[in-house]
């Protein structure tokens, strides 16, 4: 009986070893990204063996399928895409493997590598975000998301992030690691509450709603909330319907879009429920990290 041939071992720092299928996949992805076709994540949910719960969902704002590799990435994506000045979010953005390998050599870091198969991996950054500045000009920022992160620890993850940071620095694109604390969320339960609120509001997202109408609705809702701060949200919306001739469903749609589009600030650690009092954030959480 012939013994199976062993995988030939290479030095992970000596030369870039990519599978042909990965090389072709990157070239095809790059061509698609450079075209006018809708963006597609480099990593597909079925092509990764990570232990985290993966998500593939339709984004109403970007009008395309989105691929996310964990519950944490889902939270980060939802928060980023609904941040007021954000135009688009590209998830699992592939980095040129030749460039990242050269950076790893310069930093004397082992590029992400499968030691059993003796091959390197194509690296990705979690999110590449395109936003508007105060002058209406577009700019891009790259983000890696970690629920919690200690930048002082020199772990394998930290070294990988160093490669990403150097890659984006060469492109003159700002890069940083964000955590749930950047979203004003201190605990896991806070993250679940904010995600649930965003998902609740997304049901009635409408890009065609006039912003002036939303601003007026928001003002009226805040005034009504001051009159009955302990009333369930459903009752406040009913009061607005009676005063300003909205239907009940129109009031609910306006409310949800006011939250999504940043006109109405709520306390993120409290989940929105129609049968409970609304927890407004009258101070307003900042999005200065974008």
List of domains in the chain: 20-183 (3.40.1350.10), 205-290 (1.10.10)
Q: What number of other Cβ atoms are within 10 A of residue 211's Cβ?
A: 11
pLDDT of residue 1: 41
**H or E stretch at 68:** strand 64-68
- At 94 the pLDDT is 98
* Residue 102: exposure state from Cβ atoms within 10 A (0-12, 13-18, ≥19): middle
Q: Is the pLDDT of residue 45 over 60?
A: yes
Predicted confidence at residue 285, as pLDDT, reads 53
**CA-wise closest residue to 46 among 33, 35, 55:** 55
pLDDT band at 225 (very low <50, low <70, confident <90, very high): very high
Stronger pLDDT, 284 or 177, i.e. the higher one: 177
pLDDT band at 9 (very low <50, low <70, confident <90, very high): low
In angstroms, the Cα distances linking 148 to 179, 203, 254 are 5, 29, 34
Lay out the sheet containing 124-132: strands in order across: 86-94, 124-132, 138-145, 175-178
pLDDT at 284 over 80: no
Least confident span in 81-95, 104-118, 216-230: 104-118
Mean pLDDT calculated for residue range 27-47: 87
The answer to whether residue 189 scores a pLDDT higher than 70 is yes
Amino acid 289: pLDDT: 55
Calculate the average pLDDT of the chain: 90
What is the spatial distance between Cα 279 and Cα 77, in angstroms, rounded to a whole number?
Answer: 23
pLDDT at position 155: 78
What is the structure's pLDDT at 14? Answer: 84
State mean pLDDT over 207-228. Answer: 96
């Amino acid at each position: 009986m012939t013994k199976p041939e062993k995988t030939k071992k290479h030095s992970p720092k000596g030369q870039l070893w990519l599978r042909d299928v990965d090389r072709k996949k990157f070239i095809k992805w790059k061509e698609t990204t450079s075209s006018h076709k809708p963006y597609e994540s480099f990593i597909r949910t079925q092509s990764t063996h990570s232990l985290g719960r993966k998500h593939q969902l339709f984004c109403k704002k970007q009008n395309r399928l989105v691929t996310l590799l964990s519950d944490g990435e889902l939270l980060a994506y939802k928060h980023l895409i609904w941040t007021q000045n954000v135009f688009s979010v590209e998830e699992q953005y592939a980095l040129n493997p030749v460039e990242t390998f050269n950076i790893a050599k310069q930093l004397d870091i082992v590029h992400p590598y499968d030691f059993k198969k003796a091959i390197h991996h194509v690296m990705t950054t979690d999110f590449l975000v395109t936003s508007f500045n105060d002058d209406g000009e577009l700019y891009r920022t790259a983000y890696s998301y970690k629920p919690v992160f200690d930048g002082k620890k020199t772990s394998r993850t930290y070294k990988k992030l160093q490669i990403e940071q150097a890659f984006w620095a060469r492109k003159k694109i700002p890069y940083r690691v964000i955590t749930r604390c950047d979203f004003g969320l201190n605990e896991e339960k806070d993250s679940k509450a904010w995600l649930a609120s965003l998902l609740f509001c997304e049901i009635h997202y409408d890009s065609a709603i006039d912003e002036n109408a939303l601003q007026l609705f928001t003002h009226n809702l805040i005034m009504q909330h001051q009159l009955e701060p302990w009333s369930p949200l459903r009752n406040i919306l009913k009061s607005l319907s009676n005063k300003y001739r909205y239907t009940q469903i129109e009031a609910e749609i306006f409310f949800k879009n006011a939250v999504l589009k940043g006109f109405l600030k709520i306390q993120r650690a409290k989940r929105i429920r129609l049968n409970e009092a609304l927890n407004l954030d009258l101070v307003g959480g900042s999005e200065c990290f974008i």
